Structures are given as C-alpha cells and as structure tokens.
Amino acid sequence: MSEADRIRHRTAALALHDDEVRDKPDAKANVFADLGSPVSPLRARASVATSSSSSSGSAKSPAPSNAGMAGGRSHSGELVGECNLPRLMAHRRSGSGQLIFSGSSSRGSGGGDRGSTASSPMLNALPTGNICPSGRVPATAATPPPPRSRPDVLGSGTGHYGHGSIMRGAGMAPARSSIDSSSFLGHSSRSPASFPASSGSLQEVTRLGNEWYKKGKYAEALRHYERAVALCPESAACRGNRATALIGLGRLADALRECEEAVRLDPVSGRSHSRVAGVCLRLGMIDKARRHFTQAGHLQQSDPAEWQKLQEVEVHLGRCTDARKIGDWKSTLREADAAIAAGADSSQLLLALRSEALLRLHKLEEAESTLASLLKLDGALPSSLTAAKLSGMLAESYVHIVRAQVDMALGRFDTAVAAAEKARDLDPGNAEIGMVLNNVRLVAKAREQGNDLFKVAKFSDASMAYGEGLKYDPSNSVLHCNRAACWSKLEKWEKAVDDCNEALRIQPNYTKALLRRAASYAKLERWVDCVRDYEVLRKELPSDKEVAEALFHAQIALKATRGEDVSNMKFGGEVEIVSNVEQLRAAISSPGVSVVYFMSAMNQQCTQITPSVNTLCTECPSVNFLKVNVDSSPMVAKAENVRIVPTFKIYKEGVKVKEMICPSLHVLRYSVRHYSVSSS
C-alpha cells in the first residue's frame, strides 16, 4: 500500500471513531478543575500512544475531551475542554473555511519546543482534542468541507491561536447543578470583537459567585453573577446563575424573568425549564409550571418530587376556591394553608385567599399580617397570573379587593377606596368588584359624615350616620366603636357596651373599644367586668398612668362592694422608705398587697434592680411598695430575719404570702402582678 493510501485510511478511521463517541453523555467533570487563563500556555498532558495494524491500515485516536462540560451533550463546533496542543497553530486559508494545523511555534505563545516529537509527521497534524469546529477530522486534507452558515471564532479574541476556547455560535448544554459553573463557555452568538478582552475574567467572577452562593451569601453571589451576565449577556448559564441567586434572596419575580431569558437562549436546556417550573410553582402559576415541568421531563431533567408538589398545590387550590364560593371560610383558610405549605409559598393569589378568610373569621390581625406579607413580594404580578381568573374576577383585581376590605376593617378608609378603585380599573366589567367598590365608598362617606357631626357635638345625628355605614358593612369594628362613643356622650351606657362588644367580637384586641367598654362598666357599676377590662389594658399599656389609676379606683370600688376596709388605701406610684419595725408592721397590715424590698446601697445586684422596682411600683399602683435599707436600719432586717440582699417579701392583709431571695426581674414582676390581680 502506498504512503498516500495509508494516510487516507488512517484519517477515515479517525473520522469513524469520532462518530462513535460524539453522542455519548459527557463526563460530569468540574469545569474549573483544570482551567487556567484561556490565553496562557496550557498544561502539558501525557502523550497518547497510537497503534496501527498492517492488516487493517487504520489508527485510533483518543475520544474528544469533554472535561469542560458540566452536563448534557456537547454541540458541534464548540471547544468544551482545554486545548491540549500548545504547539499546533490553527489558522484559516482564505475562502476555504477549513482549519489548517501546523507545528510551527513562531505564532504560538513564544518560546517552547520548535518541532514535533511524535513518531509520525502526518499524525502531528491531527489534534488530540475536539478542536475542529464540526468535531470531525476531514477525510483528506486536500478536500475542503462545504461552507458553513456560521463562522467559527476564537473565544479568547487574542492573537495566541490554539490557546483560546474555540467556539461556534451554538450553545452548550446546561450544567446539572443548581449553579451553572460553565457559564463562560457557551451560549454566545456575538462577534469576536464583542467578547471581553479576557474570558478568564468571566471564569473568575463565576467562580467567585459560586463560592459565595455555597456559603449562603446570595447578595454577594448575585453581584458576581451580574458581572458575568454583563460580560456575556447571551449566556443561558450566566442567566441561570443570576436566577438562582435571586431565588435565594426571595426576589422571585426577577428570578422568573431571568429563568425565562435562559430558556429563550437555550430552549433545549432541561435544567432551565426545571428552574422556571420551580419558580412558577412557588408563585402559584400552576399551568405554566406544568408546561415547563413537562418540557424538563422530555429532556430527562424532571424531578418526581416537584411533580408531587405541583399536584398537591393544584388540588388544595381547587378546594380553596370552591370553599370560597360557598362562604366556607374555615375550609378556605385550611386549604390555602395546605397549598402554601405544599410549595406555593409566594403565591399572591393564595395569600389573598388566606387574608380574606381570616378577615371573615374575625381574625383581623392575622389578616393584616398576611396582607403585609403579600405586599412585600417583590415586583409586579407576572402577566400569566394577572390574566388568571378567580370566580370570574381577574386574580390581580381580587388581590386589590381583599386589600380594600382589610383596610376598611382597620379604619383606613381612604386607602380602602383607592384599592377598590384600582381593582375596578383593572377589571371594569366585574359585578362583584363593582358591588365592593360601591359599599366601600358608602361606608367611607358615612364615617366621614359621622365624624363631622361628632366634632360639633351632634351626637345623636352622628350615631345615625355611623349606623347608616353599618348597613353596608355590618362587620366594621371602627363604626361600632365610633357609635359607642356617641352613646357614651348621650349617657346610654348599655348601648355603648353593646356596640363595644360587637367591635371586640370582630377585633378582639381593639384597645379603644376596650377602653370605652371599661368606662361604660364603671358608669354601670359593674366592677368585676370593669376591673377585668382595665387589667387587660394594663398589660397592653403598662406605662399609661390614666389606665393604672382607673384600675386602682375600680379595684377599690370592688373591694368596697365586698365589705372590705379600704379607708387607708391610696393610689401608689412611689416607694415608701421604712426606717423602723413599727412603721413596717403598720404598713404591711394595711388593706391590699404590700411588697417589702430589703436592699443595700453597697450591693451591686441591688443597684441594678432598684430602677426596675421603681418602674414596677408605677405599673402596679394598687400595691404598696416598701423599701428597707439594711445598712441604715439593721434592726428591721434583724426582726425580719433577712441576711441576704436583695430580698423581697410579699404580704397580703398583713400575712406573708411569698419571699424571694435574689430573684430575677422576670420572677419579681410576675409575682407582684400575680398577687396584685388575686387581691382584686
């Protein structure tokens, strides 16, 4: 066989071997494991031995390296690993479209060996890595391939031919991890001039972003990923990395936009489709999540656990909306919570359903808290969610309607009207929205008229105005409380109590309604109920002296009705200093509860707790606070057998009920309040 025939057979065998390996899955190697600067001389590799057979006349070359791939299959015309031929120069003959490899080092990195050490001169012309744009070695060096629609470019954009990443316009497969570490290698259809001067900078910022992401520092990771996107905006992997950092920060609307952009850049990326589906699931966008999960499944990237979450969310959401239609608010709340727990934790629709259910169940504080969580969700509602319907109402309009109703219940009438009007603007033809808007306007108008009449002391007319508003919103606690104020001014205490009761049924922690009811109970001399309300108010308003004094007088009145001696009881607020045993005996024998504080000015713990004792005295004015300085009054301490300070003794009607040595402030406060309440 002639030398020319032998060369032809060898090159044909190499091309056949490339066909056999090009469609196999890429090895899951770390893209950063062995990548230096794309423009620096590459690390030397062990030489690959070649074999030939005189009978077959063929030689096998090693399979193309896929070490740079993070997952998926390599695309034609793309270098996904390092070039391992530092001496071979790649240049293009004019008009041929074919890469020609030479062994000269004069156009290389400068320096190094100047020849080939391989056994066959012709084999030195063949690359050991996947450098040719098509991934094939041409059958003969003399026959150029047909022209290609997209030119091959050098990824580094430098003059060091053979040392940069040689890429075609086609994208590479996505990484299989949550962070795409190969973002600097593919998805670019830009011209060589538009690439950064050094793709090593892209590699570095991606690596740094990955490091921060692994530490849970998503803001820092995002900063680096955004630099990577700026360097290579057409890279789906860079976009995917940015999306994962945004997800970590809870910015799901922005993350969804990045995920969709990654899918646009690389429609065959199963990872990108799966990421879009996951974000859509959290946002409650069921149909869109299903489409992308299906697409990811076709690309063998579907997660069965995610499918299970999707199905659970869909079932609970359906039950939730069905329960709302029939006014079963307990079931509505239960199913909304189940759907949120199943995975749709950032669904504005589900949060709105939950808030409305809580409002109808008179859990106004929880409804407001849920609404606040809804409003904190970043970005505008996605268009697919905006177009969704809930009982014929646009989902976005429904969110504003719920906000209007919660604001109305909390007395924020102006913002309630604004929210209802926005819902009407979004969905002008919806009858339910029109009815809610009309009611909100009428209630706001009635409240305004009632307030104007109250200010000019027309209390009867004001009560009628508030009553008119209650016709359109019977569960408005603010209108009930305002009308109770009118009844108080008209000295109709029973009616005032009734309206306060209704307001507190709707909003249990409504402080103003509780104050008005306690005052009405005092006028009706219902002292047990009066003391109960004021004790609740004291816990909520511990520094309010008016409440403290009202509680004290209510307790005195209650004791008097029980026949107890209250002649020596006075409203406290100051600690009485005791200097002798007779004074102490007289003080602790007075009606009510007395707290004796044994202290020393030289003791550090006493110095720390004394300010708290003074505060506690103000908070519990019905309790007599006595202070004994054991340094100046040692006989009192001896009579009471006090050896350690600080010591606290609590007396009730002259009988010791509790003694505490060096107590914590929490224990002291709890004990004093406990005996203060029990004395009532």
DSSP annotation string for 391-408 = TTEEHHHHHHHHHHHHHH
CA distances 433 to 202, 329, 447, 593, Å, are: 52, 19, 21, 59
**CA pair distance 427, 406, nearest whole angstrom:** 20
pLDDT of residue 387: 53
Per-residue model confidence as pLDDT tens digits over 515-559: 999 999 999 999 999 999 998 998 888 778 788 888 888 888 888
Mean pLDDT of successive 10-residue stretches along the chain, which has 680 residues: 53 41 36 32 38 39 39 36 37 41 38 38 40 41 44 35 35 43 42 41 90 93 92 91 91 90 90 90 89 82 82 93 93 95 90 94 91 74 57 84 92 93 91 92 94 95 95 93 96 96 92 95 94 90 82 85 70 78 87 89 92 83 87 92 94 90 91 73
**CA pair distance 664, 660, nearest whole angstrom:** 9
Q: Write the DSSP symbol of residue 176.
A: S
**CA pair distance 379, 44, nearest whole angstrom:** 51
DSSP annotation string for 337-404 = HHHHHHT-TT-HHHHHHHHHHHHHTT-HHHHHHHHHHHHHS-SPPPHHHHT-EETTEEHHHHHHHHHH
Q: Where in the chain is the domain with CATH 1.25.40.10?
A: 192-302
pTM exceeds 0.85, yes or no:
no
Superfamily covering domain 576-678: Glutaredoxin (3.40.30.10)
Which SS3 state, helix, strand or coil, does residue 22 take? coil
Q: Where in the chain is the domain with CATH 3.40.30.10?
A: 576-678
Fold of 192-302: 1.25.40
Beta carbons within 10 angstroms of residue 45's beta carbon: 14
Beta carbons within 10 angstroms of residue 679's beta carbon: 17
Per-residue model confidence as pLDDT tens digits over 132-173: 444 444 444 444 444 444 433 333 333 333 333 333 333 333
From the list 42, 27, 29, 31, the residue with the least C-alpha distance to 202 is 31
